[in-house]
Amino acid sequence: MKKLIILCFVFLLYSNIAHTQGCVIVRNISGLGQYSLTDNSFSTSEWQLNITSRYFKSFRDFKGTVDQKTPKENESVNHVFSLDLSVTRLLRNGWSLTLGIPYTSNSRTSSLEHGGPNTTRHTTHSVGLGDIQFIAHKWLLRPSIKQKGNIQVGLGIKFATGDYKYQDYFYRNDSTKVLSPVNPSIQLGDGGTGIVTELNTYYYINPTKTISLYGNFYYLISPREMSGTQFTAGRAPTALQIQTGVTNLSVPDVYSMRAGANFNVSDWAFSAGLRFEGAPVYDLIGGSSGGRRAGYTLSVEPGILYKLKKATIYFYMPITAAHGITQNVPDKIESKIRGVYTVGAGGSGDYLVFLGAQFKL
């Protein structure tokens, strides 16, 4: 029966790849095992394989914290689906090495990027390998089955393996189209090599270990200022766009934080927490010019895990509670030029879906 559950789960993952085309601010930076954190704290296995699928739909336009309530015929709708495969080698004394390989399928349907408002809607796509990550982790306390909690730190590198100049056709009318880089929200990569930093922790608050707290912090440092890609939807940039530099795509830092509690019942675990993620206006290292959609999303994140002898299956569904778009550098320049406060619109959805499994090899 348990083998049947695993086979059905794997089939479901790959069925999603075949039928789904696919966060507007943050690309997939999850799926490296934080949902089954305690399993690699004191695992007797030497290897772990983690498979995480992530689905996101964006259709709302925000300026600041205000939903612009864009008419449906002029909505820009993103469908983002990614499958993240990560392999972890567990070493002695709490060390581990993880290689994460994402594959992404994206689509964006819009009228504004093609003929303009109230014209025929068209769809652009991007499909392929994303940005690969390699991370070294270390538990600060020696892992033991008896311990109540632990803290793990991680440091690694994100490679610019995803195509950040992916192109598709933009329609000027029903018979004329032009090939140009797709919207940055559906590009496969950001074009920069980044430094990955992580902090993960868990703590059991009762002797029977039925209730535990968890926390995850991820920050990607992106030293490169701009990717060298321009996004104009196939049009010539305006004089104002040239002055602000908004069409030159930035390589932003990104972050993600999670905190909550797990309640364990036999082979099941039920989770409830908060998720906060986004991109800052200014990077920790390097310049911050160019077009980026800085902002944040706060979500309520319920989840459920089912534990088998050699695998853990998990499902999480962060539900958006708050979303905000912040002035980026081109917005600030435009505000100064025009003398009017300006902030560009940024997309958001109502929820994300994470479905994954971790296997002990």
The string of DSSP letters for 248-309 reads EEE---EEEEEEEEEEEETTEEEEEEEEEEEE-SS-SSS---SB---EEEEEEEEEEEEE-S
User: What span, in angstroms and rounded, lies between the C-alpha atoms of 154 and 11?
Assistant: 32
Q: Rounded to whole angstroms, how far apart are CA atoms 294 and 305?
A: 32
The domain that holds 230 is classified in CATH as 2.40.128.130
Q: What tokens does 192 get?
A: 């920069």
pLDDT value of residue 30: 46
Q: What is the pTM of this model?
A: 0.90
pLDDT of residue 119: 94
Q: Which of 17-26, 165-174, 344-353 has the lowest mean pLDDT?
A: 17-26
d(CA 156, CA 197): 7
Tokens of 234: 């196939």
- Residues 110/121, Cβ–Cβ less than 8 Å: yes
Q: Provide the pLDDT for residue 39.
A: 59
Q: For residue 31, what pLDDT is reported?
A: 42
Identify the residue with better confidence: 223 or 67.
223
* pLDDT grade for 224, boundaries at 50, 70 and 90: very high
What is the pLDDT confidence band of residue 6, given thresholds at 50, 70 and 90?
very low
3-state secondary structure 299-349: EEEEEEEEECCCEEEEEECCEEEEEEECCCHHHHHHHHHHCCCCCCCEEEC
- In the prediction, which pLDDT does 22 show? 29
Pairing of strands 133-139, 122-129: unpaired
Specify the residue for token string 């999603």.
16
Q: Looking at residues 304-323, what average pLDDT do you find?
A: 93
pLDDT tens-digit map of 279-306: 999 999 999 999 999 999 999 999 999 9
**Burial of 18: CB neighbours in 10 Å, binned 0-12, 13-18, 19+:** exposed
pLDDT 10s digits, 254-273? 999 999 999 999 999 999 99
Average confidence score pLDDT of the chain: 88
Burial 47-78 (b: 16+ CB within 10 A, else e): ebbbbbbbbbbbbbbbbeeeeeebeeebbbbb
pLDDT at 24: 43
- For the chain, the domain total comes to 1
Q: Which of 14-18, 152-156, 291-295, 304-308 has the lowest mean pLDDT?
A: 14-18
User: How much of the chain exceeds pLDDT 70, in percent?
Assistant: 88
104: left (phi over 0), alpha (psi -120 to 50) or beta: beta
User: pLDDT tens across 184-194, in order?
Assistant: 999 999 999 99
Q: Residue 42's pLDDT band (boundaries 50, 70, 90)?
A: low
Query: Which range has the worst mean pLDDT, 9-18, 68-77, 324-333?
Result: 9-18
Indicate if the pLDDT at residue 11 is higher than 70. Answer: no
Got the DSSP string for 171-182? ESSSS-EEEEEP
Residue 199's beta-bridge partner residues?
Answer: 153, 217
Which range marks the domain in which residue 166 is found? Answer: 2-360
pLDDT band for position 10 (cuts 50, 70, 90)? very low
pLDDT of residue 361: 87
User: What band does 40 get if pLDDT is binned at 50, 70 and 90?
Assistant: low
Judge contact between 256 and 264, C-beta under 8 A: no
Please state which of the ranges 27-36, 70-79, 137-146 shows the lowest mean pLDDT. Answer: 27-36
Q: What is the pLDDT of residue 7?
A: 38
pLDDT in tens, 192-205: 999 999 999 999 99
Per-residue pLDDT at 36: 60
Q: What pLDDT score does 145 carry? A: 79
**Bigger pLDDT: 273 or 64?**
273
Mean pLDDT of 103-110: 96
The C-alpha torsion from 63 through 67 and 72 to 77, rounded to 10°, is 60
